[in-house]
Structure 1
Amino acid sequence: MGPNGRWRAMMTPCSPRLCSIVLLAFLQVTSAFPQMQQQEDRPLDPSLPEGVTVRAIINRFAAQEQIYKQAREHYTYRQVVRMQTLDDRGFPDGEYDDTFDVTVNDQGERVTKQVSQPRDTLKRIRVTSEDIDDIRNRLPFVLTTDEIPDYNIRYRGQQDTSGTHAYVFDISPKAMEENRRYFEGRIWVDSNQYQIVKSAGKAVPDIYNENGENLFPSFTTYRELVDGKYWFPSYTKSDDYLHFSTDSIHVVETVDYINYKRFGAESRIIFDGKQVGSDESQPSRDQRGSGNRQSGPQSPPTQNDRPQNNATPANPQQSAPVQRPRAPQQPVNPPPQPAQYVQQALMSLEQEISDVITKREVSILNRILTDDYHLISANGDSESKFDFLSDVQKGRAGTFGQPENMQVEVNGDRAIVIGEREESIPTDRNRVQTARVRFTDTFVRRAGEWFLIQTKEAGVRR
């Protein structure tokens, strides 16, 4: 088993595909994440915040995360994990269930207690000890003041998400140390309380080695207000395809965090020399039934509202097909922005694309590309988004220089950017092919954001 495995296909990897043409690679692991966002979020407003700087917002929510991280150590709770793999018809062909309590022993030490023996009928993938560690410790992504220097943090705008007005940031690691896991994706920060209320992305990196392939699904984690003080995880969901070299496997997973209870009447949370969470607690948003647990964003259903999935079907392959959510209505674009603003934004986006491809920040690329994105290379070959996955992930797409001589033409909700750049593509272990490429990128505007739908390449004579 790999040291940092997430999902492992029980198969051997294919031989690497040789790079025979100069490629333009803008891809990522999954398309489920942006679809989930469109179902739940209002259009993104790219305007800067008023009355506060972006740096101040980052500093504030990072400090709140430090408080949250310390506070959660003083709570017990139960975690319920449900997982399925689905066949091409949408029928479950394997399941995994696990329930455990995070509690405290007589010595005051934090321990995990198994409530019942996990039920595992998975056939095409298997859950490893590293998988369990991710489920228990990494899905509730935390970004504290100490961790801020490890990440690129890009402000994207403001957005109403499930009844909460939030500042939106994209997060990606600056560098990846060996044997360390990171988060790559998007976070939503409440504009009043400066606390993370939702995160969506994946654990990185995916692992490819001689032992197999370890791929990580994208997920969305919602938080809710507990005891009127702390925004704790309440629900994580994932509906994603894991694209192995020989197969794509559809995985559906939910994780519920329930029964938060504070232990020790004298427990105190200390941050920066001050007690946190005293009588001056922040007001809650909506009351949800009785007890101390109060809701934050309205999107995740309550435990009573969510369907219970505890029953074990006699034959998973004969279970009823999983109900797919109805397709969301096409998001309405806000009024068009001035052409000069759009031109500058698209040129900045082109520069970012070159950067994230070279750095393999695939989660960010996934949100830039449409699902039907195609690259048409200089020799006329067409590559789909998912055909390019392994090349980008394994570094075979090469490095991209900064775009030059760009020209932007805007026509309503569509735009074309023409420019040139240097691309270096590895052809074997010891050689790199460098070429100057003229690209023509077509962008579309959806829900206020620009997405890349097509790239055409042509060679440039020196």
Structure 2
Amino acid sequence: MLLRGIVLLSLAAMDGAWLPAQDAPQGPLAPPPEHHVTRVGNVAEPEAPPSLPETEIIKHFSEKEDEYILSRTRYTYRKTIRIQEFGPDGQPSGEFVLVTQPGRDADGKLFEKVVERPRSTLPHLFLRSEDIEGLQRIPAFPLTSNQLAKYDLKYLGKEQVDEIDCYIFQAKPKMVERVRAYFDGNVWVDVKYLEVVKTYGKWVTDQGDMHPVADLPFSLFETYRENVDGKYWFPNYSRSDGTLNLKGQEIPVRLVIKWTDFKPVQGAPQAAVPPAPATTAKP
């Protein structure tokens, strides 16, 4: 892979389903200090049913997702993508950093523009623009109301996330396709306000797990959200860990995406309904 100048990154397919790009292996790392990471495995039966009907909880949080996906288009923010390699001592040995922010072209179409020149000190990896573009195709809000019919949702139990009591739901796609990837994982829903505050999972097709960064082993993403302006829960931190095998050498790698500095855009257009998910894959 060759490092090339990155000018514009498309903001395509930000809801519903992900259009796949590349594939690679996967492996774990210890959690970073930003968040305490917990894993929820397959649970045969929940400890106790939720206080509200499951269908009511699901309907409420999916409608909130519809609201958030529209509202986020009316905000600007700073997005920092960081890919790190780790040495035998467990410390970072180099990193690639790219900083973008959302913008609109002359036709009003959303895109991501680079605001800081990408820099890399990675000792083994070289990245090109196509490798990073796959990250833009990961939907930020996977379980919008127009996607619910494509999933089986199962209540797993309760857990706290950053001191917030949450219901946990497992989402499994009813069917998998070749040209479209679906979310396979868990969502944490605030018990009081019925809003998604965290997701953990991967995107799958009939070919298996998807990897948004070409040739790198990132498939499972743990994503936390931040309450913005007291109204919206937007993603603010996402992480994926893996192990790269280069000529017999196992190299731990980590991808972290941070969204910061959320600010409303004055005069941003108001959308009436959530955008429909794309139906065809990029070549």
Superposed, which structure 2 residues align to 1:375-394 within 5 Å?
none
User: Displacement, 1:240?
Assistant: 3.5
- For residues 423-446 of structure 1, give each alpha carbon's deviation from its aligned partner in whole angstroms, at most 9, with x where no partner exists: xxxxxxxxxxxxxxxxxxxxxxxx
CA distance in 2, matches of 1:70, 1:192: 23
Matched with 1:263 is: 265
Q: Classify 1:162/1:42 alpha carbon distance in 2 versus 1 (closer, same or farther; 3 Å).
A: farther
Matched with 1:133 is: 133
When Rg is computed on C-alpha atoms for both structures, the one with the higher figure is: 1
User: Displacement, 1:126?
Assistant: 4.6
Matched with 2:209 is: 206
CA distance in 1, matches of 2:216, 2:268: 43
User: Displacement, 1:125?
Assistant: 4.3
Q: Does structure 2 conserve the Cα–Cα contact (< 8 Å) formed by 1:5 and 1:215?
A: no
CA distance in 1, matches of 2:187, 2:113: 30
Letter in 2 for 1:206: D
Matched with 1:196 is: 196
User: Displacement, 1:105?
Assistant: 4.2
CA distance in 1, matches of 2:130, 2:173: 20
Matched with 2:174 is: 174
What secondary structure does 2:136 align onto? helix
User: Displacement, 1:7?
Assistant: 5.7
Q: Classify 1:249/1:203 alpha carbon distance in 2 versus 1 (closer, same or farther; 3 Å).
A: farther
User: Displacement, 1:131?
Assistant: 3.8
Q: Does structure 1 conserve the Cα–Cα contact (< 8 Å) formed by 2:203 and 2:210?
A: no
Q: Classify 1:244/1:66 alpha carbon distance in 2 versus 1 (closer, same or farther; 3 Å).
A: farther
Superposed, which structure 2 residues align to 1:204-243 within 5 Å?
204=204, 205-206=208-209, 215-242=217-244
Matched with 1:118 is: 118
What secondary structure does 1:115 align onto? strand
Letter in 2 for 1:70: L
Q: Does structure 1 conserve the Cα–Cα contact (< 8 Å) formed by 2:181 and 2:210?
A: no
Structure 1 unaligned runs (5+)? 9-28, 273-462
Letter in 2 for 1:259: D
Q: Does structure 1 conserve the Cα–Cα contact (< 8 Å) formed by 2:28 and 2:242?
A: yes
User: Displacement, 1:151?
Assistant: 2.4
Letter in 2 for 1:262: P
CA distance in 2, matches of 1:188, 1:79: 23
Q: Classify 1:39/1:228 alpha carbon distance in 2 versus 1 (closer, same or farther; 3 Å).
A: closer
CA distance in 2, matches of 1:41, 1:93: 26
Matched with 2:49 is: 48
Superposed, which structure 2 residues align to 1:92-107 within 5 Å?
92-105=92-105, 107=107
Q: Does structure 1 conserve the Cα–Cα contact (< 8 Å) formed by 2:142 and 2:183?
A: no
What secondary structure does 2:47 align onto? coil
How many pairs are equivalent?
Answer: 246
* RMSD (Å) for aligned C-alpha atoms: 3.6
Structure 2 unaligned runs (5+)? 2-19, 275-283
Q: Does structure 2 conserve the Cα–Cα contact (< 8 Å) formed by 1:235 and 1:255?
A: yes
Q: Does structure 2 conserve the Cα–Cα contact (< 8 Å) formed by 1:99 and 1:118?
A: yes
TM-score (norm 1): 0.46
Superposed, which structure 2 residues align to 1:302-317 within 5 Å?
none
Matched with 1:165 is: 165
User: Displacement, 1:77?
Assistant: 1.5
User: Displacement, 1:213?
Assistant: 5.8
User: Displacement, 1:141?
Assistant: 4.1
CA distance in 2, matches of 1:181, 1:246: 31
Are positions 1:5 and 2:22 aligned together? yes
Letter in 2 for 1:228: G
Q: Does structure 2 conserve the Cα–Cα contact (< 8 Å) formed by 1:188 and 1:196?
A: yes
Matched with 1:300 is: none
User: Displacement, 1:179?
Assistant: 3.2
- For residues 304-362 of structure 1, give each alpha carbon's deviation from its aligned partner in whole angstroms, at most 9, with x where no partner exists: xxxxxxxxxxxxxxxxxxxxxxxxxxxxxxxxxxxxxxxxxxxxxxxxxxxxxxxxxxx
Q: Percent identity at matched positions?
A: 31
Superposed, which structure 2 residues align to 1:325-336 within 5 Å?
none
User: Displacement, 1:92?
Assistant: 3.1
What secondary structure does 2:88 align onto? coil
What secondary structure does 1:261 align onto? strand
Q: Classify 1:98/1:132 alpha carbon distance in 2 versus 1 (closer, same or farther; 3 Å).
A: same
What secondary structure does 2:48 align onto? coil
User: Displacement, 1:217?
Assistant: 3.9
Q: Does structure 1 conserve the Cα–Cα contact (< 8 Å) formed by 2:82 and 2:98?
A: yes
CA distance in 2, matches of 1:215, 1:41: 20
Q: Classify 1:203/1:244 alpha carbon distance in 2 versus 1 (closer, same or farther; 3 Å).
A: farther
User: Displacement, 1:225?
Assistant: 1.3
What secondary structure does 2:256 align onto? strand
Letter in 2 for 1:4: A
Q: Does structure 1 conserve the Cα–Cα contact (< 8 Å) formed by 2:21 and 2:134?
A: no
- For residues 377-412 of structure 1, give each alpha carbon's deviation from its aligned partner in whole angstroms, at most 9, with x where no partner exists: xxxxxxxxxxxxxxxxxxxxxxxxxxxxxxxxxxxx
